[in-house]
Amino acid sequence: MLTYELRNLARSRWIYGYAGVFWAASFLTFSFAEGAEQALLSLTHWNLLAVPLVSAIGAANAVYGRRRFDEFLLTQPVSRSAVFFSSAGALVLGLVSAFALPVGGLCLLAESPGGVSARMVAGGSAVAAVFVMLGTAVGLAVEDRARGLGLLLLIWIIASVVYDALLLYAIAMLEDYPIEPFLTVAVWVNPVDAVRLLLYQDLGLRFLLPVTLPEWSVWAGLAGWLGAVSLCTWLMALRKDY
């Protein structure tokens, strides 16, 4: 089933449009930025804003669009787990590839610093995977498409914009207090900020987010997020009334 899911996704135009937007954004950034490091910083900001939004909305839309086909598949002798993992797996593979291939390819062509580029692509891919699963979860849990997409927009604004603003506000207001342990946890908890911090550390821009996290803990946090959201979504798929 995964093969057919991927085939269906590979024939859809919107996934190429999505990949094209990332290719164009990366191309323009590398063309006009002053140096590879500045280009990577700009790309990081753009990717961490666009990837969660498109991944979550794209996944939820796909879940809403294929609900009746899922119903049909579940009337065949196949487990709910198999239907869930093939459709969610195809979405994760498709949306992560649509981000990672154009951005990673242009990083290679632009001969940008390998370690930072690899972390940016890997971090963006991990964030994409987490938000695809989150979009899938909302698509399964909320029957009404408009409400589901509205909820995802709210989650995206909080994770990508509001949370970061609150962190910076806390840093500015409470700089005289020993808040670094709390900030560290706060950054680690949000996958978008954790990846942002990873790249700030790589680019020597720690002052933008003055906390320190070992690299392994960022990856462990992202893996934890992906595992937890996938597990919850899978359990929802097993128990869902169609």
Partner 1 sequence: MTKLSLVQVRKTYRAVCALHDVSFEAPAGQVTALVGPNASGKTTLMKIILGLVRADRGAILWEERPLADYGRFQRLLGYMPQIPNFPVYLTPAEVTRIVAQLRGHRLAGFEHLAESFRLAPFWHRPIGKLSLGTRQKLSAVLALGVEAQILILDEPTVGFDPAAAVVFRRLVARKKEEGATVLFVSHLVQEVESIADRVVFLEEGRVRFAGSRPELQARTGARSLEEAVLSFYDC
Give the DSSP letter of residue 214.
Answer: -
Using DSSP's 3-state secondary structure scheme, residue 127 falls into helix
CB of 242 to partner 1, least distance (A): 4
Task: Give the residues lining the site for partner 1 (CB under 8 A).
Answer: 1, 4-5, 7-9, 11-12, 66-69, 71-78, 241-242
CB of 203 to partner 1, least distance (A): 40
Contact yes or no for 234/81 (Cβ under 8 A): yes
φ, ψ dihedrals at 45, nearest 5°: -60, -45
The residue among 65 and 227 lying less far from partner 1, judged by its C-beta, is 65
Contact yes or no for 120/40 (Cβ under 8 A): yes
The residue among 4 and 32 lying less far from partner 1, judged by its C-beta, is 4
CB of 19 to partner 1, least distance (A): 16
φ, ψ dihedrals at 33, nearest 5°: -75, 155
The residue among 78 and 157 lying less far from partner 1, judged by its C-beta, is 78
Residue 128: closest CA among 30, 225, 63: 225
In angstroms, the Cα distances linking 14 to 21, 140, 240 are 10, 21, 28
The residue among 66 and 105 lying less far from partner 1, judged by its C-beta, is 66
Burial of 36 (0-12, 13-18, 19+ CB in 10 A): middle
3-state DSSP percent of the chain in helix, strand and coil, to 5: 85, 0, 15
CB of 74 to partner 1, least distance (A): 6
Residue 51: closest CA among 154, 121, 143, 141: 121
CB of 56 to partner 1, least distance (A): 21
CB of 9 to partner 1, least distance (A): 8
